[in-house]
């Protein structure tokens, strides 16, 4: 098994591509080991000293380091991912809610606006963000403000504010005049 690695815009995060599905149709983000109990792989990755975050995407895994150097962490992470796939262990144990960060919020009269926002995020934003090892999901719309949840390499990335303000906000304002601002949750 050959696992590719890619740098992300966040220097504390690396993207790992196992060449096999990771979590098709869903994503999961774990910011501490106690949250990772539903995923045997994420739980094992947190056992690597220096790992501070794990994000499971459709066909990739991003790992965020809190301490240490990538040259020392990367071999242990690659070994952990390879061992997981070779063992045949499932990615998730049992059922878990897809949205772990709470319900979406918006007024019923804004359902068409929200549908347009979500369509734009799914078709134009999320694919680009996934290439950098992250994900952005819709959380709410209130008084012209779109609230987005940044995950994976996007969370804590030095360029995430620029991505939100200059990229996503401008895109949404262009196509949805009711949008006045975009904020992270």
Cross-strand partners of 136 = 150
How far is 79 from 69, CA to CA, in rounded Å?
16
Provide the 8-state DSSP code for 92. S
Class in CATH terms, 105-184: alpha beta
Tokens of 162: 């620029």
Q: Do domains 4-87 and 105-184 have the same CATH topology?
A: no
Residue 16 sits at the vertex; the CA angle it makes with 117 and 84, to the nearest 5 degrees, is: 115
d(CA 141, CA 149): 12
Quickly tell me which residue has 């949750």 as its tokens: 185
Q: Which CATH superfamily groups domain 4-87?
A: Scaffold protein Nfu/NifU, N-terminal domain (3.30.1370.70)
pLDDT of residue 127: 85
Q: Return the beta strands (E) in 32-129 as ranges.
A: 51-56, 61-65, 105-106
pLDDT computed for residue 115 by the predictor = 93
pLDDT of residue 95: 38
Element at 175 (helix H, strand E): helix 169-175
User: Hey, where are the domains in the chain?
Assistant: 4-87, 105-184
- Taking the complete model, does pTM exceed 0.85, yes or no? no
Nearest CA to 29 out of 70, 75, 71, 61 is that of: 61
φ, ψ of residue 27 to 5 degrees: the values are -140, 160
For the chain (length 185 residues), average pLDDT per consecutive 10? 89 92 87 92 95 93 94 94 86 55 79 93 86 84 88 72 81 92 83
């Amino acid at each position: 098994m050959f696992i590719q690695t890619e740098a992300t815009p966040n220097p504390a995060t690396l993207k790992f591509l196992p060449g096999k599905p990771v979590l098709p149709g869903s994503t999961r983000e774990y910011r501490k080991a106690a949250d990772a109990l539903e995923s045997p792989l994420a739980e094992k990755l947190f056992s690597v000293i220096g790992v501070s975050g794990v994000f499971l995407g459709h066909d990739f895994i991003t790992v965020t380091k809190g301490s240490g150097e990538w040259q020392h962490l990367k071999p242990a992470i690659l070994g952990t991912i390879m061992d997981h796939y070779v063992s045949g262990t499932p990615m998730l144990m049992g059922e878990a809610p897809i949205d772990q960060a709470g319900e979406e919020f918006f007024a019923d009269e804004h359902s068409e606006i929200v549908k347009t926002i979500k369509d734009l995020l799914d078709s134009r934003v999320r694919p680009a963000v996934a290439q950098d090892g992250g994900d952005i999901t819709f959380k709410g719309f209130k008084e012209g403000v779109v609230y987005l949840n940044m995950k994976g390499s996007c969370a804590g990335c030095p360029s995430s504010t620029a991505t939100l303000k200059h990229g996503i906000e401008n895109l949404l304002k262009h196509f949805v005049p009711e949008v006045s601002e975009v904020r992270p949750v």
